[in-house]
Amino acid sequence: MSGVSSFLARQKKADLSSLAGELGLSHDGLKKAELEAELENYLISNSSTHGDDPKFAGFYSKRRSEGSPVKKEALSLFNGVDGTAKPSRRRVTRAAEEIAATNDSEMEQATTRARSALVRTPAHRTFSNLAQNVPLPPSPAVVADIVERRTAAIRSQIAEKYEDLGITEYKETTREVFSSVISVQALIVLFELYNLRPEVLPNRYALTIPAIQFPNAGPWPISIPDLFLLLTTEFWGPVTLWAVTTFIIPLFASYFINLSSKPRSRSSHATHFNYTYDPLVFNIVKALLVFVVFGQDVTFGGLVDLEYVARINSAVYGGYKGVLTGTAIGVLVTLYDAIKK
C-alpha cells in the first residue's frame, strides 16, 4: 500500500509477523500488505506508549520527518511545482487563515457531536457519577493492612474469650493430676472395676422414653443397675475377693515394704519417703496374688470360692492375664518415674 510507512514496507513478512506477535496483534491469515496496514494503524494509535521504544525509532522518526498532510499542503503553497516559484505573502496568509478556519470548524463540529452523545446517554452519565462516589482504597497495600488489622483484632478477641473461660487453667490442672504414678495406677484399678460391674451388678429395665415425631427418633428403653443385688452375696462375694487380692493386701504390703525412702541427711535423723505406698511393691504383690488365685486356682484352705474366681475371670478384660498386664504397666511407669528422679 502506498500509504504505509517505508519502515514497515522494507520489513519481511516473517519480521512483521514476529513484531505483531510481540505487540499482541492477531496476524493469522493476513497478507503482507494487510499486516503492514495493521501495524501502521496500531503504532499510530499507540504512539505515546511505543514512541520512546528504540525498536520503533525508525518508524516514528520517519513519520515526524514526513509531516502531516496539512503541513504538506501548507508547504506546497510556498513552493511551486519545480520548487522555484513562490506565492505572495497575502496568498500565504489567506491560505493559513483558511486552514485555521477549517480546523476551528472541525473542532466545533466534534465538540457538538460529543455533547449531543453525552446528552443522549444519561445512563453513561449516571454510571460515571456513581463510579466517582464509590470510595476506593488508594493501593493494595492499604487493603492488606486493613485485613491484617481486622484479623489481629478477631484473634485477640478469641484469645480473651478463651482466657475468660479458664480452659487453659483447667487443662494444666488436669495434665498435672494425670501425670503421676498414682494417677496411672488409679486408672488401671478403675478400668478393672468398669469391666467387673456388669457381672456383679447387671442392668435391669427401668422405663422407656416414648418416640418423638420430629426428628422421627425413639423409643429409647432405659436400663439401670440392679441395686437390690447390693443386699446379696452374689455382689459382695466376687467384689470382696477382687478387692482383697488386687487392692487391699497389695496396698498393705506397699506401705510397710516401701523402697522409695530417701537417704538420711546429716542434720536430720528422720527418714523421708517419696511415696506413702510404694507403687513398685504394690504391683509386684498384686501380680503374685492374681497369678496364684486367678491363674492357679489356689483356695488358701477353702477361703477362696472358685465360683467367684470364675466370675471375675469372665468379667475382667482378658481374664487374669489382663490384670497381670495392668501390673506390668504400673511397674514400668514406676521405674520410669524413679529413673527421672
Residue 84 has pLDDT above 80, yes or no: no
pLDDT, tens digit, 9 for 90 and up, residues 115-144:
555 444 455 555 556 556 666 666 788 788
**At a CB cut-off of 8 Å and minimum separation 6, what does 178 contact?**
184, 187
Supply the pLDDT for residue 333.
93
How would residue 75 be classed by pLDDT, with cut points 50, 70 and 90? Answer: very low
pLDDT, tens digit, 9 for 90 and up, residues 149-179:
889 889 888 888 877 787 888 888 888 888 8
Task: Write the DSSP string, 188-207.
Answer: HHHHHHHHHHHHHS-EEEEE
Phi–psi pair at 209, nearest 5 degrees = -80, 125
pLDDT, tens digit, 9 for 90 and up, residues 200-232:
999 998 888 888 777 777 788 899 998 999 999
CB 275 within 8 Å of CB 257: no
Phi–psi pair at 331, nearest 5 degrees = -65, -45
Which residue type, as a one-letter code, is found at position 252?
F
The set of cell numbers assigned to 277 is: 505406698
Residue 189 has pLDDT above 70, yes or no: yes
**How many angstroms separate the CA atoms of 225 and 202, rounded?**
6
**How many angstroms separate the CA atoms of 205 and 222, rounded?**
6
Residue 284 has pLDDT above 90, yes or no: yes
Supply the pLDDT for residue 34.
82
CA dihedral (173, 176, 178, 182) positive or negative? negative
Would you put residue 204 in left (φ > 0), alpha (ψ -120 to 50) or beta? Answer: beta
Supply the pLDDT for residue 267.
57
**Residue in 287, 277, 273, 272 with CA at minimum distance from that of residue 256:** 277
Supply the pLDDT for residue 53.
75
Q: Which of 18-27, 66-75, 157-166, 197-206 has the lowest mean pLDDT?
A: 66-75
Residue 305 has pLDDT above 60, yes or no: yes
Residue 98 has pLDDT above 70, yes or no: no
Which residue type, as a one-letter code, is found at position 294?
F
Kindly list the domain boundaries of the chain, sorted by start residue: 6-131, 139-179, 180-340
Look over the chain and give the mean of its residue pLDDT values, rounded to a whole number.
78
Q: What is the largest CA-CA distance in the chain?
A: 152
Supply the pLDDT for residue 167.
80
Which DSSP letter does residue 83 get?
Answer: S
Phi–psi pair at 260, nearest 5 degrees = -95, 20
* Size (the chain), residues: 341
Q: Which of 24-38, 51-65, 188-202 has the highest mean pLDDT?
A: 188-202
**Residue in 68, 66, 4, 63 with CA at minimum distance from that of residue 33:** 4
Burial 179-207 (b: 16+ CB within 10 A, else e): eebeebbeebeeebeeebeebbbeeeeee
Give the whole-number percent of the chain exceeding pLDDT 70: 73
Phi–psi pair at 206, nearest 5 degrees = -115, -55
Q: What is the pTM of this model?
A: 0.51
**At a CB cut-off of 8 Å and minimum separation 6, what does 219 contact?**
208, 209, 210, 211
